[in-house]
Structure 1
Amino acid sequence: MIIPTINVFWMSLFKWGGLSNNKKFVGLNNFIILFKDEKFIKSFQNTLFLIVFVSIVTLVLAIALAAILIRKDIKFNNFFRIVFYLPNILSVVVISAIFSAILDPNQGIINATLALFKLENWQRMWLGDPKTVVWCIAIAMIWQAVGYYMVMYMSAMSSVPESLYEAADLEGASKIHQFFSITLPLVWGTVRTTLTFFIISCINLSFLFVKVMTSGGPDGASESALGYMYKQAYGNSSYGYGMAIGVVIFLFSFGLSLIISKITEREVIEY
């Protein structure tokens, strides 16, 4: 793992197609070009949006669903657990195909439903419209990940002693107050770990979803940073330039992990 990582940094200093023996050392020139590349900037903005929006919505929904389904008085809670977890066992290709079919402008269920309720003005080329395409990809990513993190939070919540909730009930605390005062602080270690893990995995997942659903279209409106790196390194025979993009993504991921770890750092609460 270490040697290929170092090799990426080294190759980013060359102008090279990736297959020939003709390597030209250009120093930091690839990075100078990179930060003036509007297509890269757009792809990085898309990735940043997906990281922020998908991470926040996914983890909030996962925590909320876990807090609801962990309660024993919820009917059919085992059924709902299976339903919410099911998308996680499907491959990204299958999920992308499902959402591509749902969002199809001619035969998709979204536009068909809008037509049924006489809302034709709301119909869109969902994956062909620069204004909606990234939002559609974000929804697919959220749908795929919520169940997995819900199960993780349910596992953490199940270890919280019932005596704490019983004492809170006697004191007259509401369920919402109990959640923020007891449940969330005691599972914060799990939340912190999963947040860091999901942010990093979101960078990789964005590449897969974009690759299958849109291939970066329309006109680069949904391109991800990793997707742009892949196209430059293996599609445009600009391997050195692609590795420069890889270095930026690596440093961004590493830096973001450190920031998230520091921001979410709390004193460990024991029980």
Structure 2
Amino acid sequence: MNHKLKKHLYITACVAPAIILFTLFMIIPTINVFRISLYKWGGFSNTKTFVGFDNYRTLFKDINFYGSFQNSILMIVLITIPTIALALLFAGILSRYKFRGQNFFRIVFYIPNILSIVVIAAIFSAIYDPSMGILNSLIGVFKGGKAAQILWLGDQKIVIFSIVIALVWQAIGYYMVMYMASMAGVPESLYESAGLDGANEITMFFQITLPLIWTNIRTTLTFFIISTINLSFLLVKILTNGGPDGATEVFLSYMYKQAYTNSSYGYGMAIGVVVFVFSFALAAIVNLVTKREPLEF
């Protein structure tokens, strides 16, 4: 056995377990989702009726699905923009300035990311409590001392913003740390040269920092948008279960209800296929829109 063959066998042995696990737990289940979406099936019986694309025809006439689609798009926009913007802002401040307690702030910002989504839901459920929540109590301080009675999770007009705030709070620290790691690789000499030319900190941030870490921003932006689809479902499921009156229903919560509550498993899988295709299409669009020539230094 020659050296080249041994090398190929070694590489195969190292990669094979990962490929097998990925195939068993990702590829095959994904194919099954596509397959089951072509059937009318309750999910718990042995009786499956092949209906072709009937589930998809029903889906594209489903007003409730379109409502969950709109809520999902709104959440993606409302969560992504402030999260990325604030993460960049805090990363820029903590990277460029040296002050007492700097490491403390890094830890504080990152703590929400290591908390379980269930714990985060419990925290904000207590904050938003209409009678004993700290948020209504603070508002009451500015209204003569009487606690406000705002239904943060029960008012259709504001409930989605309550979910958005919780998800933004949870995600900022993680992306801040990632951007700080990228900013650490920007040579200090570039900032010194720009300072000698009269550039202020804001100009240096937009003309030096952002262009040089743009590749990292593109990657995290795509990752964050896709992860928001998953995290929004988890938080919605715990805090509001899609209510009130569908105001916070999102892709995956609606799919869950159809598949496991209404015993329409095939229909739920059809929703899952649409979400799957939408996620990839959205990722492709984001990559296309944010594409630019990499800068070197």
Superposed CA offset, 1:110-132 (max 9, x none): 11112221177964111011111
Q: How many residues align?
A: 271
Higher RCO structure, 1 or 2 (CA under 8 Å, sep 6+):
1
Q: Does the 8 A contact of 1:229 with 1:243 survive in 2?
A: yes
CA RMSD in angstroms comes to: 1.3
Aligned twin of 1:145: 171
- The aligned amino acid for 1:223 is E
Aligned twin of 1:267: 293
Q: Distance in 1 between matches of 2:205 and 2:137?
A: 40
Aligned twin of 2:104: 79
Q: Distance in 1 between matches of 2:253 and 2:109?
A: 29
Q: Distance in 2 between matches of 1:52 and 1:121?
A: 32
Q: Does the 8 A contact of 1:96 with 1:209 survive in 2?
A: yes
Residues 1:46 and 2:57 aligned together: no
Q: Which moved more, 1:97-106 or 1:43-52?
A: 43-52
TM-score relative to the length of structure 1: 0.97
Aligned twin of 1:169: 195
What is the CA-CA distance between 1:248 and the residue it aligns to?
0.5
Aligned twin of 1:62: 87
Superposed CA offset, 1:23-50 (max 9, x none): 1111111111112212211111111111
SS at match of 1:130: coil
Aligned twin of 1:95: 120
Q: Which moved more, 1:240-249 or 1:209-218?
A: 209-218
Q: Distance in 2 between matches of 1:103 and 1:9?
A: 39
Aligned twin of 1:254: 280
Give the 5 Å matches for 1:185-264: 185-264=211-290
What is the CA-CA distance between 1:219 and the residue it aligns to?
2.0
* Structure 2: runs of 5+ lacking an equivalent: 1-25
State percent identity of aligned pairs: 62
TM-score relative to the length of structure 2: 0.88
Q: 1:104 to 1:121 in 2, by over 3 A?
A: closer
* Structure 1: runs of 5+ lacking an equivalent: none
Q: Distance in 2 between matches of 1:213 and 1:117?
A: 27
Residues 1:111 and 2:136 aligned together: yes
Aligned twin of 2:208: 182
Superposed CA offset, 1:218-246 (max 9, x none): 12211111011011111111000000000
